[in-house]
Amino acid sequence: MIVKKEKLQAFLNERGLSQKKFAAKLGVDVTEVEKMLSGEPVGYDTAKKFIYFMRADRAQHYIDWSAIGEENPLLADDYDDSTGKNNTEDNVA
């Protein structure tokens, strides 16, 4: 996962969180937060903890989808966030 470093830095600034405090909240080493803030990719464990902490609905806006070569799955045409379910043929009643 790669995050939008400027957006994450603004989030930390708004909440008065240092890199060390944010790392503690995520339960990761401060070097992982340093990676995020420098635009470097982080591994699965850090990404999972970041998304859990931020919640997916907010985290999706911090993830740099183009940098990882993926589309945001929460913006897919077949996703209806009002119900929290995909509207694929398998899920339509």
Tokens 């995520």 — which residue?
A: 26
Could you report the average pLDDT of every consecutive run of 10 residues in the chain (93 residues)? 97 98 98 97 97 94 95 72 49 41
Q: What is the pLDDT of residues 51-72, one digit of tens each?
A: 999 999 999 999 999 999 999 9
Torsion-angle region of residue 5: left (phi > 0), alpha (psi -120 to 50) or beta? Answer: alpha
pLDDT number for residue 83: 53
Token pair listed for 74: 């929460």
- Can you spell out the DSSP letters for 22-64? HHHHHTS-HHHHHHHHTT----HHHHHHHHHHH-HHHHTTTB-
Predicted confidence at residue 74, as pLDDT, reads: 85
Note the pTM of the prediction, 2 decimals: 0.77
